[in-house]
Amino acid sequence: MNKKYLPLAATIAVFIGLFLIGGGLYRNFLSTMVLGNILADNAFIIIAALGATFVILSGGIDLSIGSMIGFVGVCMAVLDSMGWHPMVSAGLMILFGIAYGAFQGFVIDFCRIQPFIITLAGLFLLRGACFMVTLDSVPIHHDFVDAYAAAKIPLPGRGVLRSSALVMLASLVLAIVIAHFTRFGTNVYAIGGDKESARLMGVPIRRTTIGVYALGGFYSALAGVVYALYTSSGYPLAGSTLELSAIAAVVLGGTLLTGGVGFVVGTLFGGMILGLISTMIIFQGTLNSAWIMISSGGLLFIFIVLHRFLVGSFNLRGNS
């Protein structure tokens, strides 16, 4: 097997291993119902993480994800109470997400500022904006939302694929196409691997950076739409600290935080591993919920060390 597939293989092995362990420990765990739940309940995290994958592949970071999800949610809820169709407000918010992401990308490249700082400003700005829109949780009442929530494809067994899982899988396919079958995708890997070499080889740095953050904004806003439809409400505190879960999903999925190395599909498994850990601890039922964070943190630590080890001893990134 090619060495660059090792982190991805490790991620998938951990996912399958955890699922089997859960099945051995708890009644009703090894079922399509649990699998369907994990896909649907983590759909918005995975969608946001898909965007974060591109940002991290390019060597950057986006901390504004969680606030964007909250902001999209409250805007959709308030627009709903003003009589807008959810699809129209969703479209508007996704355009906003793309524009805001592009703006962040532009500032990062034009002013040569650390992505960490600019997107941290985005985190505060958008969360503050949530509180300006509303302080309460606002319900979204619309026939479309009911139909969306009720739509499902039955899986063998008792499980179902809910709409949010379907949107997530479609987003995943789109992300795989962009990352692995377009020139833009190749450019993202190039600037993440070595920005200077990429520049010398004629990769359009500014256009790619703006594109990466616009894509990040698109996926965060889409995650916000999925979250709002999933809870059929907007809540100004929704999605807080979710950017960190998204980054964790990306790293668990085998993408290197330094950029340039990783696979989009790994992020799907990274997000599902996080969901699997929570589900196992809920099934256990007597463990303090702190164990969800402790085991996620522990696993993250092991993965980062593993990546370092792979990079060091297998020279994963190659010589440039």
Closest CA to 163 of 140, 146, 178, 176: 146
Which of 140, 210 has the CB closer to another protein? 140
Least separation, in Å, of the C-beta of 141 and another protein?
Answer: 8
- Radius of gyration of the chain, Cα coordinates, nearest whole angstrom: 19
Which of 11, 164 has the CB closer to another protein? 164
d(CA 280, CA 295): 11
Least separation, in Å, of the C-beta of 41 and another protein?
Answer: 4
Least separation, in Å, of the C-beta of 27 and another protein?
Answer: 7
d(CA 196, CA 314): 23
Residue 216, both tokens: 């990040």
Contact between 19 and 283 under an 8 Å Cβ cutoff? The reply is no
Which of 231, 258 has the CB closer to another protein? 231
Which of 186, 232 has the CB closer to another protein? 232
Least separation, in Å, of the C-beta of 116 and another protein?
Answer: 24
d(CA 275, CA 128): 28
Contact between 311 and 256 under an 8 Å Cβ cutoff? The reply is yes
d(CA 76, CA 88): 9
Least separation, in Å, of the C-beta of 177 and another protein?
Answer: 28
Which of 70, 115 has the CB closer to another protein? 70
For another protein, the binding residues (CB under 8 A) are 26-29, 31, 33-34, 37, 40-41, 44, 135-139, 146, 149-150, 227, 230-233, 235, 237-238, 240, 275, 278-279, 281-286, 288-289
d(CA 138, CA 298): 36
